[in-house]
Amino acid sequence: MNIVRRIAADLGLTLPSDPQFLVSGVAVGLAFAAWLLAWIAGRSLGPRLAALWERHVGNRNEGMAARMCSLVRDFTAALILAVALQAYHWPVIASFVIGLALAFAAAMLFAEVARGVGVARWIAGSLALIVFLIVLTEAAGGLTPITDILDRVGFSVGRRRFSLLTLLQIATTLLALFATVKLVNRIVGHSVKRASGLDSTQQLLVQKLVAIALLVAAFFVGIDLVGIDLTALAVFSGAFGLAIGFGLQKTFGNLIAGIILLMDRSIKPGDVIAVGESFGSVNKIGVRAVSIVTREGKEHLIPNEILMTEEVVNWSYSTRDVRVSIPVGVGYDCDVALAQRLMAEAAASSARVLATPKPSVWMRGFGDNAVEHEIRVWISDPEAGVASVRSDILNRLWTLFKEHEVSLPFPQRDIRVKEWPADAMRFAKASAEDTSDD
């Protein structure tokens, strides 16, 4: 302080004689300087970190640059103020001033992180307020009085006592673990998608396994941080095993079935499958069920166990080329060769029909009323449906048949009477005589 007074005297300034007031003024200036440096750091480093985040994590968001600037600013301010608070034995008023700025920076940083990981706004605001009070109280003289009050208010469950302090620690731990798991999941997911040696199914499998491993690790880390003795859980292991065996059997069965489906690659996202009455494209393979989007836009959620135990028709398992058969009948009195040529022409002119293998027309047999044929075509987009292909070819064929006067069959029946009953003969003769008299 003597150095400050000598510099002020050289400049012709007169400082207050009260050292408490003088140090408090220095603390205010230090707080403003910390926030100014933090603002500059946020403006310069925020956009660069946002670009780095988008490149490695892949979260392309219009507000990412602004949020990253806020995070850098709040973190820098909190770091500078925390170092300043611990570097010198400040008087009470000065400690309160620096602690107030530090608490504000820590609360804003906590709120930005909470909002970034998807926590509701009111929850993030409530937790940020708690962080503000904790940091401010610690800077002003210690948390012991506050923690003692929070620890005295609580309740007991069996031999375990839960206080407000314990619940606050649990909430903070859960939020921190949730943010960490979500962040690591995003980084791993983006890194896996950039791996050129893995196909889509293998990428999804790696993401699911990493997510499960992170959840298990977060559970045990959270138990340890909260202070719950893992040996206490041994009492409930038998009941928990029974719950898995009976109540959660389907849940774990679907989980294991989903992992097996991803490992053997029998069903992949984008495949066109038919399960029972459900037909559509696989949209997502989840932990519990597979999402199938039908042609009507409906999304069917089929449990993974069903795909493991029941018959599944995969239209695009080894190749996406699918053959479509269209039965067609023509009359016996038409030119069959001309009709076959028109069938091939109608099939080849359809937009979704592949040129290779080219469409073919086969005569299947001689029916009661028609010469039966079958048009066989190949398509490469079964997810778009096969009914539209049949309809398009049949509409084209109808126009061609009309232009070339190819007759279409219709049912014909010849009735031959071997013997008439006597009453029927008399009735027929009487009717004929009455007609002739008229």
pLDDT truncated to tens, each residue of the chain (438 aa)?
455 556 556 655 555 555 556 677 777 888 888 888 888 888 888 777 777 766 665 555 556 677 788 888 888 888 888 888 877 777 777 777 888 888 888 888 878 877 776 666 776 777 777 777 777 777 766 555 556 666 666 666 556 666 676 677 677 777 777 777 777 777 777 777 776 656 666 676 677 777 778 877 877 777 776 666 656 555 555 656 666 566 667 777 777 777 777 777 778 787 888 888 788 888 887 777 888 888 777 888 888 888 888 888 887 777 778 888 999 999 888 888 999 999 999 999 988 898 888 899 999 988 888 889 999 999 888 777 788 889 999 999 999 998 888 888 777 667 776 666 666 666 666 666 665 555
Residue 227, by phi and psi: left (phi above 0), alpha (psi -120 to 50) or beta?
left
> Does some domain include residue 189?
no
**What is the rounded CA–CA span in Å between residue 77 and residue 73?**
6
Show which of 293, 314, 335 is a domain's final residue: 314
Residue written as token pair 């597979």: 290
> Which among 92, 110, 142 is the end of a domain?
142
Asked whether 68 and 53 are in contact (CB, 8 A), the reply is yes
Residues 345 and 278 in one domain: no
Whether 36 is in a domain gets the answer: yes
d(CA 147, CA 166): 10
Q: Are strands 322-330 and 299-303 parallel, antiparallel or unpaired?
A: unpaired
Residue labelled with tokens 């029941």: 310
pLDDT score at 308: 81
Cα 125 to Cα 132: distance, rounded to the nearest angstrom: 10
Model pLDDT, residue 220? 75
399 and 281 within one domain:
no
Q: How many domains does the chain have?
A: 3
- Residue 252 and residue 240: Cα distance in Å, rounded? 13
Domain presence at residue 357: yes
Task: Please give the residue range of the domain that contains residue 93.
Answer: 2-142
Same domain, 277 and 345: no
Specify whether 26 is located in the same domain as 40. Answer: yes
19 with 136, same domain? yes
Contact 278, 247 (CB under 8 A): no
> 266 lies in a domain?
yes
Cβ atoms within 10 Å, residue 364: 12
Q: Which amino acid is at 438?
A: D
- Which residues have CB under 8 Å from 372's CB, separation 6+? 327, 328, 329, 363, 364, 365, 366
Q: Which amino acid is at 407?
A: S
